[in-house]
Amino acid sequence: MRIVFVEKSRAIIPELALHHQRVRKLRLLLPCTDDNMTFPSALLLLMVPCIVSATQTTGLILEGVDPAIGYHAIVKENEKTVEVTPEIKVVGGLVSKFRLTSKYPGEVPFRVFIPDRTSGAAIMVAAMELDCEKRKSYKFDLVAIGLSGKISDNVTVHLSVEDVNEFAPKFLQNSYTVDVDEERLYDTIVQVEARDDDCTPKYSDICKYEILDPHQPFTINFEGRIKNTEPLSWEQNPTYVLSVVAYDCGMKRSEPTTVNIKVNKVCHLGWK
């Protein structure tokens, strides 16, 4: 059974013209065209409140967005739901689908749909796994296509893929070995270095290095430079083995690297 809305003049109002902009009374015709129905074939005339769009003559409109600025969108690299500002909302008719196109090679890996046609509010989702480490941003154009084939204005979407702290820092070397002379204070004995594969400084910069055993006579600074805090003695301890870790700026910790420090005995000239 098909429901038809008519004006007083009995002119039929297209389905696309029905929207929530303005309310007025219309006649509702219920023609019993379905063969399975048992109603008499006469038309049923009712007066019902109906919702009619004030923009029915202008076609589909992407509401609340400035086409010169476009939409800004953000999605975490391990999530599907895209947060779009302003919200994508279509007025002026019912939407059949959205078309997303890009001037750049490759498909646009996103999908836009309206869960509830009467609201006109759309949702954007990622159609594939996103990887900030491979691609941080997308730029594409969006249009809404109505059931009647009418097309909205073209609006650009600027989308950023938000980083997630998936990677821990890794040291460039599994171990470091260095010789030092006893009885000396060094500015730098050795510099260790770790790197991190995440795609933003927040999660990939190394914010801190740490010697796991705090009772060793050495310190390490934020650049990974290790120095002794007191002169070393070959007789007391000819070798030190330090376990050093690195933290990214999201405080994700690396596996330790080993720093072997060999103390050289210094010979002194003297009378025998």
- Enumerate binding residues for Ca ion (CB under 5 A): 163-167, 196, 198, 203, 248, 252
The Cα–Cα gap between 87 and 241 comes to 58
Q: At closest approach, how far in Å is the CB of 164 from Ca ion?
A: 5
Q: At closest approach, how far in Å is the CB of 166 from Ca ion?
A: 4
CA-CA-CA-CA dihedral for 117, 118, 119, 124, to nearest 10: 0
Q: At closest approach, how far in Å is the CB of 162 from Ca ion?
A: 9
The Cα–Cα gap between 11 and 4 comes to 10
Rg of the chain's alpha carbons, rounded to an integer? 35
- CB nearer to Ca ion: give 19 or 77: 77
Q: At closest approach, how far in Å is the CB of 200 from Ca ion?
A: 8
- CB nearer to Ca ion: give 28 or 207: 207
CA-CA-CA-CA dihedral for 129, 135, 136, 137, to nearest 10: -90
- CB nearer to Ca ion: give 253 or 262: 253
* Cβ atoms of 74 and 160 closer than 8 Å: yes
CA-CA-CA-CA dihedral for 16, 20, 21, 24, to nearest 10: 90
Q: At closest approach, how far in Å is the CB of 177 from Ca ion?
A: 27
The Cα–Cα gap between 204 and 167 comes to 8
- CB nearer to Ca ion: give 240 or 248: 248
- CB nearer to Ca ion: give 117 or 253: 253
Q: Tell me the three state secondary structure of residue 76.
A: strand
